[in-house]
Amino acid sequence: MAALLGCGADLEIPRPRTDDHPVLLWVSKTPDFPICPDGRLDYWDGWADVRTDPQYQNECGTCACSPAACALPARVIAHEVPLCADEGIKVKFAGAADPPGHCIETSPLVPGDAFASVTIRPPTMALACRPSDQFAPPPLSGTFARACPWIGEYDADFEGLVCIAPEHDGSCRPGFSARFEFREKIRDARTCTPCECAKPTGGSCVADVLLFSDTSCSDMLISINGIGTEEELCYGAPADSPLAGVRVVFARDEPGTCSPKATVSMVDGTIESGETRTFCCSSAEVVEVIYGNADN
């Protein structure tokens, strides 16, 4: 943005006045606001002609839904009496799905004199699909400005203009004829409507459960195949056989699907602006020649 206009004492570039709080004004088409010279924090931010880029049409993104995943049963209930007639003991097999079918040691191990029947819990399908992550509003287009306090000298590393306030009649004095008007940037209050998913449809989750009397899964007690999501089954156990190991695997793993309730996440809310401020800026984009920063 900045360009050295020339060198020499014949250049008459006016200094900013000292009675109306001169500023260094950064102006850009992108909102990548720079740090003010000396790290000053008492700056003023503004914008002009700010709007959502037309190519986005106030849309944040296209909504999607994850599958409603199938999950293998993670426990059985071991009963001390036949026909699953008591409350039983919850026997967990953590990590049954990682990977499916490997031998798992039950927790706790159930001794033979406490194992007469078993309730097999079914596989499950997720009750809901996970929607797309929350979108961020689309970028704004326009002209953006930051007015930094004048620090007594021009900072060549800060790509800005030297500006003063307009005259009482609103005009800009000679030498500071580049006129800018910006509204105060209050905040971007836009959000995006959340994506939501309808209930899952379709899919099929079917599991096979194999129970063993040893932790190495070599002595099989019971094999229950084709357990669907609607079933909870009771099976008798061989007499005096402990329950120590299990293998669980999907016979069918077909997740359900969900449709987004709305196809597109839309922009909601507006940008908030304050009062208009006018800047009269030096027509010289770089004034280092008068502030002792040039070599010529």
Owner of token pair 């500023």: 23
Q: pTM to 2 decimals?
A: 0.68
pLDDT by residue for the chain (296 residues), tens digit each?
A: 333 333 334 444 455 555 567 899 999 999 999 999 989 999 999 999 998 776 667 899 999 999 999 999 888 999 999 999 999 999 988 766 567 788 988 989 999 999 999 999 899 999 999 999 999 999 888 999 999 998 877 777 888 888 999 988 889 988 888 899 999 999 999 999 999 999 999 999 999 999 999 999 999 999 999 999 887 889 999 999 999 999 999 999 999 999 999 999 999 999 999 999 999 998 644 343 333 333 43
| CA-to-CA separations, 2 to 8, 98, 156, 160, in angstroms, rounded | 18, 60, 9, 7
| CA-to-CA separations, 169 to 21, 23, 166, 239, in angstroms, rounded | 18, 20, 8, 104
Cα–Cα distance for residue pair 266/138, rounded to 1 Å: 10
